[in-house]
Amino acid sequence: MHTARPTRRLAARAALVGALALSLALAGCSAGTASSSASSTPAAKPSLEFTGPNGEKPGALSELSLTSDEQSKVKDGKYTAAFVWHTSSDFVTAVEKGARDEFKKLGIDVVASTQANFNAATQANNVQTVLALHPSIIVTIAVDPTSAAKAFKPAVEAGTKLVIMTTPPEGYKAGTDFVSIVTEDLTAAGRDNAEILGDALGKKGEVGYLSYNANFWFTNQRDKAFKDWLAYEYPDVKIVDSEGFADETATQTIAAAMIAKNPNLKGIYVSWATAAQGVVAAIKASGRTDIKVVTNDLDTTLGAAMMSGTNVAGMVGNGSIGIGKGLALAGAYGVIGKKAPELVASVPTKVTKANLDKGWESDYGTKPPSSVTGG
């Protein structure tokens, strides 16, 4: 009898455990059903505002201006400037043109322009090369924010005024380590990309998402804005494959695999134009004429493909000339000790076949070249 009681207790406990397990299983099934149901509800409306890498609130480019007395003070200072870019592209060329034109008006001589092919070590070497010329102003965008913090430290210590296009070195603060960030409205750019692709697909279809696989505040935020706005405005356009790239020359291989794996793919978003060139090449090699590409920056190669073929749905311009002018003005703020806004942003431009001439001139300040228009 003494051994029978523990056995009955164990049996009772076992029954209780079983009942609990069944209850949890049923709850799990119920939760799974609820989750599935929730996933079919419309996406929440994304925020219309973005913030800078340190939480800066963006203002308009028009906030940057100099009085006639301030302009005279800049000209009298005989200051110099240098560009330490992350890469080369039609976009960078246009931004530099806008900056050079404004520097010229202000009497600031440009003494150097370098680019790093997205290589942080190369950019660090470029900083040293440029510093040997003792520029008053450096216009730059950090390839890798973490390593750039060390690379640009000698410039800060030398009193050179850093002006940032989009991405500053990690830990650097506006008004202390650099003058200002001049960029585009990233949320608006992401929305423009989503609308170009969504409309090109007739508001439905499967798409791929090819984003920059690195800690790069500017591109990361713009990429995310595209996903958020696509989900909100085009619920029947589904991202079925997401891939990252660290090297823009690898996008053709990545896109080829994406296309082979997803036979119903109708569109691909790519972070920026030179990376998108490889994607367009992969689509062409696959023999597909029904896959649409959307990307950021206006590019002659993609522009020509858009005008002559079917695979490029459109591009989103950054307001490049305006950004360049803003960078130069921010540099002038720095050398005369005028406090600048922490962050200012341009309005992006949606460019498709329908508005190529107007969009190109608005963004780059020139008519599109004949290689784009075929004229």
Distance CA 168, CA 56 (A): 12
Tens digits of residue pLDDT in 145-187:
999 999 999 999 999 999 999 899 999 999 999 999 999 999 9
Domains of the chain: 59-185+320-348 (3.40.50.2300), 186-317+350-373 (3.40.50.2300)
Instruction: Give the separation between CA 42 and CA 77, rounded to whole angstroms.
Output: 57
What is the rounded end-to-end Cα distance, in angstroms, of the chain? 103
For residue range 50-70, list pLDDT tens digits in order.
778 888 888 899 999 999 999
Residue scoring higher pLDDT (217 or 123): 123
Give the pLDDT of residue 42.
Answer: 65
* Whole-angstrom distance, CA of residue 193 vs CA of residue 199: 10
**pLDDT of res. 24:** 33
Q: Rounded to an integer, what distance in angstroms lies between the CA atom of residue 312 and that of residue 305?
A: 6
pTM higher than 0.75, yes or no?
A: yes
Buried b (16+ CB within 10 A) or exposed e, 333-349: bbbbebebbbbbbbbbb
Strands of 181-184's sheet, edge to edge?
A: 59-60, 343-346, 181-184, 161-165, 137-140, 80-84, 109-114
Token output for 165: 């296009």
281 CB-contact burial (10 Å; exposed 0-12 / middle 13-18 / buried 19+): middle
pLDDT of 46: 75
User: Which pLDDT does position 237 carry in this prediction?
Assistant: 98
